[in-house]
Amino acid sequence: MNLQRARYLVAVADHLNFTRAAAELHVAQSALSQQIKVLEREIGVVLFDRRGPRISLTEPGIVAVREAKFLLESADRAIERIRASALGSEGELRIAHTRSWAGGAVALAVNEFRARYPKVAITEHRGYTARNTALATDGAVDIAVVRPPVDQSKLTVRILDRERLLLAVPSGHPFSTLEVVDLAQIANEPVVFWPRANGPGMYDAIVEMFWPTRAPNVVRREADDEQVLHAVAAGVGVAPMPAGRAATYRVPGVQMCEINCPPMYLTVGLAFRTDNPNLALRLFLEVVDEVVDPSLLVR
């Protein structure tokens, strides 16, 4: 798909009307319609359903529009990097961090990258794994820091780090006097959890580890780990908790316990599109290969 036909496709998809799309593009409607037909022949699928009074995208058409937008965004970013290079800059790396992790191998790689490539502008923000994955898939960020497993149909994921998974209990709870709790003991306990939509893969992995034979008795859902810990402190229930988050927040009234079984771990990874042409992304991945423990670099 060349850039011109990608722009034509996106314009028609935005308007679902060839006349209005042609007006926006300043081309004849017949020429626009012909270019879309050429694109359909090249790809070998029908992109628009033209049978009704109003055209609509087919299922392949929806995918084609998403890919066309990514192609156009990539081209725009390439132009920006070329112009930035002429001004003495070296481009930009966009990173979406996960809310449930800070520091560790990710921070090590970012800090080393900054030291090696000081002219590369790094734009960072923080969100949930599900949102970060969507941003990387759509090309809105170059790197998504995620809690695997995630949907890898469009993304490559590299595991960079891991941390222990513990059980947070209220300080007055019978478990609070124990350093180690058996899985069987928590089967019927009221549980505080965050919404599964934040990170479906991580949520399901935790449930499988802590409640392998039955669903957890979730009595309250809170927006994030900090609010979960405050609910635990209030005596609402117990909660699975990454060790790093527990250490970061240190909420009074919460005791952390280990589970009496082989150590439980959550992983942290980088998700990215291999077809992303950003040179800064490739340089960052090279830094990751050099500075992160090779035993954790699972591809």
Rounded to the nearest angstrom, the gap between the alpha carbon of residue 124 and the centroid of all alpha carbons in its chain is 13
Of the candidates 71, 65, 118, the one whose C-alpha atom is nearest the C-alpha of residue 91 is 118
What was the pLDDT predicted at 87?
Answer: 45
Where the chain has pLDDT below 70, the residues are: 80-90, 294-299
Q: Which residues pair with 255 in a beta bridge?
A: 169
Question: What domains are there in the chain, each with its CATH number?
Answer: 3-84 (1.10.10.10), 88-156+270-296 (3.40.190.10), 161-266 (3.40.190.10)
pLDDT per residue as tens digits for the range 165-183: 999 999 989 998 888 899 8
- Residue 264 carries which DSSP code? P
Q: What is the pTM of this model?
A: 0.63
What was the pLDDT predicted at 28?
Answer: 92
User: Residue 177 and residue 255: Cα distance in Å, rounded?
Assistant: 9
- Residue 263 carries which DSSP code? P
Rounded to the nearest angstrom, the gap between the alpha carbon of residue 247 and the centroid of all alpha carbons in its chain is 24
Query: Residue 238 phi/psi, 5° resolution?
Result: -100, 170
The DSSP secondary structure of 102-165, one letter per residue, reads: -SHHHHHHHHHHHHH-TTSEEEEEEE-HHHHHHHHHHTS-SEEEE-S----SS-EEEEEEEEEE
Q: What is the CA radius of gyration of the chain?
A: 24
